[in-house]
Amino acid sequence: MAITPLAPEDFPKPWQKPDYETLRDCLDQLRVKPRIWNPKVSRSDIQRELAREEEATAYQQREAVSWLSSIVSSSLGWIADADQQEEIWNEASKRMAERCGRTAMGEITRSWPFDSEKDGQAFELTIREPPITGDSLGLKTWGSSYVLAQLLPQFAETSLSHLLSAEKPRIPVLELGSGTGLLGMAAASLWHVPVILTDMPDIMPNLIHNVEANRAVVDSLGGSIDTAPLVWGDNLRSDKRFETPFQYKLVIVADPIYDDDHPELLSGAIHQQLSREDGARALVMVPLRDETTKRLLSVFRDRLTEDDRQIICVEEDTVPGEDDWDEDDDSHALDCWWGVLRRSMTE
């Protein structure tokens, strides 16, 4: 978790009756942002950096919490504007919540950096994440989506080069379970292709917001982005454009299985949307968080080969990743499995 260092002696004391602007500036400097980490950095380096940061900021954070508590409990009577008083109380409460881990942070906005080595272009995608609750996991940017997004140029030159080479026509790409949209928008930007980002209807408002916020960036890099609801196994709640099966030569998905019914639903969705043409591929990443996730991945791979699906994994590997779901849990480093899938028989 990235914390802006601010010395406790610099905190404006309530007895000094600091004005609104002074308090607001201090609260802005105390803002806590979830870490934007680089999968190219080794896990041991990440852990060492976290340990150094925690040691260096432990005292500052204890003092910050104490100061924030004093602001929340203060009447702020010297600030005449009631709206400004309310804003200071709200912001101080948010800063305290941010120090209780990611799930308590409320809405956040993060800018995720990318560097296209091939094109020599650096860019950022700005992603809004609403407050996290138990039934809104699609509103969080999961770490594996950034891992896979960083690997996209590599796949374009290797496993997927027959689909994405500059000499080939630009093919539309389908992303399943887009969540906040980071992976799909990165694919459009780095691969210079049209991508349609999909998810459950209740996830769509935030996904649409993020797509519109980044549309100009994606367009400037030669990609294009669109959104549509697609509910795995429920055509009644899905966009009509998905009624015709086997349309997409390239399907991508990251962090798609975390419940017992997901392996069957996801394998069915890939089967329904992946083209039967020779060369069609699906690129999937699954973080191996625990034994349950490993079991679900195994079930998913079994489901891919059942009945008429006959979808096989032709390439696979694991890469180090990280989650920031719970900043108080030091086990957020994890391996992410990726697989390139194709149909074993084409028509």
- Are 86 and 142 in a shared domain? no
Query: Any idea what the CATH number is for the domain that residue 215 is in?
Result: 3.40.50.150
Lowest-confidence range among 135-144, 148-157, 221-230, 337-346? 135-144
Instruction: Judge if 87 and 113 occupy the same domain.
Output: no
Residue 296 has pLDDT above 90, yes or no: yes
User: 95 and 125, same structural domain?
Assistant: no
Which amino acid would we find at residue 68?
Answer: L
Domain boundary among 74, 100, 126: 100
Residue 322 is part of which domain span? 108-343
Asked whether 293 and 309 are in contact (CB, 8 A), the reply is no
164, 311: one domain:
yes
Among the candidates 59, 81, 100, a domain finishes at: 100
Instruction: Answer for the pair 236, 158: CB distance below 8 angstroms, yes or no.
Output: no
Of 38, 70, 100, the position where a domain reaches its end is 100
Half-sphere exposure of 98 (CA within 13 A, CB side): 25
CA distance 343 to 311: 4
* Lowest-confidence segment of 57-71, 248-262, 303-317 by average pLDDT: 57-71
pLDDT, tens digit, 9 for 90 and up, residues 25-79: 988 888 776 655 555 554 455 455 555 555 555 667 777 778 888 888 888 999 9
Model confidence, pTM: 0.75
